[in-house]
């Protein structure tokens, strides 16, 4: 793990140095700096040669950062960010009823992410709406563009493992997403700090960090899905459309379909609690297949500490006897832990699918 982190650090150093110092000079500077590092793979070589995988990640990352697509995405997201902060700050100034009950002042900083004066959606809503778009935009032409340009067969005829190619695409995209999400999160925090002048408690800070992490995983899922489509479809436009279609499906239609199934399956005259409970569980399970729902639940549980349970089926006794107090960070995390695991599992599933598909494909140039 530490070796991996070391590699990552080096990679980032190389990327930034190259951007700062122009093409030629930057390369050699990076090489000089990484020279002394011990490398088991190329022991004996005076200079350090990165493994092909990291060379590919580095190149992909550079390509993304330079592309117009990324600049446009970044512009949209930054605008959304600034807009939502503005709306949140206005709302806070006007004294919107904050989080319920006694917690009013306790989580003022968190409400930066969740309140709005009604002119614009809040930060969380923006994020859950835009996140899939970032993922789809970064991955939809990952493989098919290389195939159509004829670079795929050239790269794969180098001593490179075929799976490394796919992994590099994913890792580079995920790295970029992590950088973007975290810097945006910190941007919102920083600007909030300046405008409302109220510092976050460590607990609030960790909650936000975890939300940012979950967002990264969530975007990673969409990135993977779009890479899958880019392996499956030869045309970049088809693959982009497929990605967007899935996004819209989960955004708009999935709830509706679950509702439909729910009405159809609803027990007509419920006899026992068990029956009602199993029905509620089934509907909850169906809803939670959707990654959008998983993300929404996880993020809002972390940002609203007074969410005590995600189970819609609460008995009267439970509701009545529960103490109305916010949960601690650890307890909130426990509550959303299954969600995080499910998100990662769905990501892994999609990745496995694209992996299998890609390994079986013929590598021909262009045709």
Q: How far is the CB of 164 from other proteins (least distance, A)?
A: 10
Of these, 30, 124, 292, 303, which contacts other proteins (CB under 8 A)?
30
Residue 283: which of 247, 255, 307 has the closest Cα? 255
Q: Which is nearer to other proteins, 63 or 275 (CB)?
A: 63
357 is an interface residue for other proteins by CB under 8 A:
no
Q: How far is the CB of 51 from other proteins (least distance, A)?
A: 7
Residues 6+ apart with CB under 8 A from 62: 15, 18, 19
Span from 1-9, 59-67, 201-209, 330-338 in contact with other proteins (CB under 8 A): 59-67
Q: Which is nearer to other proteins, 28 or 119 (CB)?
A: 28
CB atoms within 10 A of CB 286: 17
Q: Which is nearer to other proteins, 45 or 348 (CB)?
A: 45
42 is an interface residue for other proteins by CB under 8 A:
yes
Q: How many residues make contact with other proteins (CB under 8 A)? A: 41
Residue 208: which of 125, 304, 286 has the closest Cα? 304
CA 126 to chain CA centroid, nearest Å: 13
Of these, 20, 79, 248, 363, which contacts other proteins (CB under 8 A)?
363
Q: Which is nearer to other proteins, 150 or 190 (CB)?
A: 150
**Phi, psi torsion values for 200, nearest 5 degrees:** -80, 150
Span from 89-97, 262-270, 297-305, 357-365 in contact with other proteins (CB under 8 A): 357-365
157 is an interface residue for other proteins by CB under 8 A:
yes
Q: How far is the CB of 359 from other proteins (least distance, A)?
A: 11
Separation between Cα atoms, residue 117 and residue 97, nearest integer Å: 11
- Six token digits for residue 251: 């955004």
Q: Which is nearer to other proteins, 230 or 332 (CB)?
A: 230
DSSP string, 12-61: HHHHHHHHHH-HHHHHHHHHHHHTTS--STTTT-SS----HHHHHHHHHH
Residue 129: which of 296, 243, 288, 253 has the closest Cα? 296
Separation between Cα atoms, residue 300 and residue 286, nearest integer Å: 19
CB-based burial label for 110 (10 Å; 0-12, 13-18, 19+)? buried
Span from 44-52, 170-178, 241-249, 345-353 in contact with other proteins (CB under 8 A): 44-52
Of these, 17, 21, 27, 83, which contacts other proteins (CB under 8 A)?
27
Span from 37-45, 115-123, 125-133, 245-253 in contact with other proteins (CB under 8 A): 37-45
Of these, 19, 100, 158, 183, which contacts other proteins (CB under 8 A)?
158
Of these, 37, 102, 118, 161, which contacts other proteins (CB under 8 A)?
161
Span from 5-13, 135-143, 201-209, 358-366 in contact with other proteins (CB under 8 A): 358-366
55 is an interface residue for other proteins by CB under 8 A:
yes
19 is an interface residue for other proteins by CB under 8 A:
no
Separation between Cα atoms, residue 214 and residue 3, nearest integer Å: 24
Where in 117-156 is the site for other proteins (CB under 8 A)?
Answer: 146, 149-156
66 is an interface residue for other proteins by CB under 8 A:
yes
> In residues, how long is the chain?
367
CB atoms within 10 A of CB 106: 18
CA 150 to chain CA centroid, nearest Å: 31
Separation between Cα atoms, residue 358 and residue 347, nearest integer Å: 16
Contacts with other proteins by CB under 8 A lie at: 23-24, 27-28, 30-31, 41-42, 45-52, 55-56, 59, 63, 66, 146, 149-161, 362-367
């Amino acid at each position: 793990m530490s070796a991996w982190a070391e590699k990552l650090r080096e990679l980032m150093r190389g990327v930034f140095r190259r951007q700062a110092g122009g093409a030629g000079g930057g390369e050699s500077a990076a090489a000089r700096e990484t020279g002394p590092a011990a490398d088991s793979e190329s022991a004996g070589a005076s200079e350090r040669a990165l493994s092909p995988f990291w060379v590919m990640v580095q190149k992909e990352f550079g390509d993304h950062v330079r592309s117009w697509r990324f600049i446009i995405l970044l512009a949209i997201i930054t605008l959304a960010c600034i807009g939502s902060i503005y709306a949140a700050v206005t709302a806070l100034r006007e004294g919107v009823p904050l989080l319920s009950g006694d917690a009013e002042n306790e989580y003022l900083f968190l409400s930066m992410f969740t309140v709005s004066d009604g002119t614009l959606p809040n930060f969380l809503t923006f994020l859950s709406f835009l996140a899939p778009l970032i993922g789809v935009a970064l991955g939809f032409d990952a493989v098919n563009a290389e195939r159509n340009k004829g670079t795929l067969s050239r790269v794969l005829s180098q001593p490179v493992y075929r799976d490394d190619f796919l992994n590099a695409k994913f890792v580079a995209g995920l790295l970029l997403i992590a950088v973007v999400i975290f810097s945006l999160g910190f941007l919102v925090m920083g600007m909030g700090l300046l405008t409302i002048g109220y510092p976050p408690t460590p607990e609030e800070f960790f909650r936000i960090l975890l939300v940012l992490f979950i967002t990264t995983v969530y975007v990673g899922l969409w990135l993977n899905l779009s890479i899958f489509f880019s392996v499956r479809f030869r045309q970049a436009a088809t693959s982009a459309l497929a990605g967007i279609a899935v996004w819209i499906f989960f955004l708009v239609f999935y709830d509706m379909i679950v509702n439909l199934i729910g009405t159809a399956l609803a027990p007509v005259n419920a006899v026992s609690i068990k029956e009602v409970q199993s029905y509620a569980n089934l509907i909850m399970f169906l809803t939670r297949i959707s990654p959008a729902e998983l993300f929404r639940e996880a993020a809002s549980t972390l940002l609203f500490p007074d969410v005590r349970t995600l189970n819609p089926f609460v008995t009267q006794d439970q509701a009545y006897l529960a103490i109305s107090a916010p949960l601690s960070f650890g307890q909130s995390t426990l509550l959303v832990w299954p969600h995080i695991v499910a998100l990662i599992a769905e990501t892994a599933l999609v990745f496995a699918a694209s992996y299998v598909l890609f390994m079986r494909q013929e590598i021909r140039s262009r045709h």
